[in-house]
Amino acid sequence: MGTAMPAGSGSDSRPTNTGALSQRPLFAVGAVLVGSFLANFDTRLFSVALGDLRGAYSLGYDEGTWLSTATTASQIAVAPAVAWLATVFGLRRVLGWPSILYAVLSLLLPLVHDFDLLITLGILRGLLLGTFVPAALLIIFRNLPMRWWILALAIYSARVGLSLNTVTAVVGFYVDRVGWQWMFWQDALVAPLMALCAFLGTPPERINVELLAKADWGGIVLLGAGMAMVYAGLDQGNRLDWLQSGTVVSLLLGGAALVSGFFVNEVLVEHPWAEVDVIMSRNIGLALIAIVLYALTSLSNAALAPNFLAVVGQLRPEQSGSVFAAYTAVPMLILLPATVYLIKFYDARLTVLCGFSAFAAAGLLGTRLTHAWSIDDFVPMLLLQSIGQSFCLLPLMMIALASSNLARSTAFAAYVQVVRLGGSEFGAALMATWLRVREQQHSNSLGQHLLDGDANLSERIAKLASSLAKADAATASERAVSVIAATVKREANTLSFIDGFWLAFFAAIAGIACIAFMSKPPPGPFTPKPR
């Protein structure tokens, strides 16, 4: 248990773990903690603060969305290849120096107001940001003794839920109290800390010249570019109305063609970069599908609850963010030791079952939503979601690891990144489209009961106009009609959020079904210990 992951045989030219054990594992764990949290926080930043950033940079709506898309797409383009790059060049070079450059860019970004320069720096910053989470994962696989793996992977997994439920409060604090620029400037302080941890926690490594000479550059470019195009198509699809937009169709079809070409390349090339057979195990395939379902069902607290409070409750992030931090992020920290304990001593499938069950229960609570719900009404749901966030991702990764060939960490890490990033965007795009379509359908359905000439409608408008006439009699009737229209929109939005919670519920049920079809992982270093 105190040795690194076993390397492949000397004749095997595939990228395998050959890293030396860290002499300062606490610094290595620190790099994992800082890098993974920073990446998730900054990725989530645009979805929460995009409106404030558009105002700060004087951007139009389209410019703001394309800035967000380009920044995240560049992360996805580089993320799958980071595991291979770390194997060839060493983690110090892949994580340490990019962290310093990332800090410099973070200092500069709030000072830039030319859109072309802004999007260029955003893409460069996204490329650097895309290295952090995969590199953190490789630190665990390559440089930590196995007895540290569960703890480090627990930190790696917890950063998803923690960032989702704290970024709203942090963004609200920056915008309201100290200035929006600190959303970027904080990274100028945090990124060098990550670089320091990387230099102290990872051993020096020579460049693997032999592996570099046999590089599968075609496969690396095909997968990275293909996933970036698919992401851009999904991210812009809801805004541009999907198949009605030539841009979206071109991005999706072109990306799908490149990804398909990647799989063909990996079968035909002499020295494949990320062999497809790594994910052919039943348990690994089901675990990856379950991770996608986890990304979808976790939107119940990542998107549905905060968006309802913003759209229907008319609350700003700083007004609701502290509740999500207090009732989801804090319980996750409390539950983290329990998650590690359960994985060590019990079948990890049982832990995942508890997590998806908690998400399902939270989704059912959400289907009881009304327009009158306030922040306090979400507390029971948030507590259930904290259990789901704590008990799903980490045991799923442990199941996949326990079922895989540990010597082929590079390929495994590449596919984990594809599923992690692709699954999150797929879930977000599906949920956004689902909410938009359902809101339109509910609005149309409710509107059919408000026909011109209807006696009840006319009576209601007359009563409202009478009460509003005290302020301005000339416009009282128009304002009364506006109030009725706003009420219809509010109820249509509420009904669409209820449908969103139903979607999250069924995603959790599908996750439970994946667990039911998993077999017990083979005996190995991650087999639960007898109590």
In angstroms, rounded to a whole number, what is the distance separating the alpha carbons of residues 183 and 45?
Answer: 8
DSSP H or E stretch at residue 276: none
In one-letter notation, the amino acid at residue 234 is: L
Which region among 39-43, 106-110, 500-504 has the lowest average model confidence (pLDDT)?
39-43
pLDDT for residue 403: 84
In angstroms, rounded to a whole number, what is the distance separating the alpha carbons of residues 390 and 93?
Answer: 32
pLDDT for residue 9: 36
DSSP H or E stretch at residue 244: none
In angstroms, rounded to a whole number, what is the distance separating the alpha carbons of residues 32 and 51?
Answer: 30
Residue 391 has pLDDT above 60, yes or no: yes
Per-residue confidence at 455, pLDDT binned at 50, 70, 90?
A: low
Comparing 12 with 245, which gets the higher pLDDT?
A: 245
DSSP H or E stretch at residue 191: helix 182-201
- pTM reported for the whole predicted model: 0.82
- What are the phi and psi torsion angles at 383 (to 5°)? -65, -40
For the segment 129-182, what is each residue's pLDDT rounded down to a tens digit?
A: 888 877 877 777 777 787 788 888 887 777 777 777 777 778 778 888 888 899
Per-residue confidence at 406, pLDDT binned at 50, 70, 90?
A: low
What is the C-alpha R_g of the chain?
25
In angstroms, rounded to a whole number, what is the distance separating the alpha carbons of residues 446 and 97?
Answer: 57
pLDDT for residue 510: 97
- Residues in Cβ contact with 57 at an 8 Å cutoff, skipping those fewer than 6 apart: 64, 113, 115, 118
SS3 at position 58:
coil
SS3 at position 3:
coil
Structure tokens at 120: 């260029």
Q: Residue 110 class from Cβ within 10 Å (0-12 exposed, 13-18 middle, 19+ buried)?
A: middle
pLDDT for residue 232: 92
In angstroms, rounded to a whole number, what is the distance separating the alpha carbons of residues 55 and 343?
Answer: 46
- Residues in Cβ contact with 79 at an 8 Å cutoff, skipping those fewer than 6 apart: 130, 131, 133, 134, 224, 417, 418, 421
Cα–Cα distances (Å) from 157 to 250, 333, 396, 505, in that order, read 34, 12, 10, 22
- Residues in Cβ contact with 466 at an 8 Å cutoff, skipping those fewer than 6 apart: 476
- What are the phi and psi torsion angles at 20 (to 5°)? -80, 155
For the segment 280-318, what is each residue's pLDDT rounded down to a tens digit?
A: 788 888 998 999 999 899 988 778 988 899 889 888 766
In angstroms, rounded to a whole number, what is the distance separating the alpha carbons of residues 225 and 76?
Answer: 8
For the segment 257-269, what is each residue's pLDDT rounded down to a tens digit?
A: 999 999 899 888 8
Residue 229 has pLDDT above 60, yes or no: yes
Percentage of the chain surpassing pLDDT 90? 31
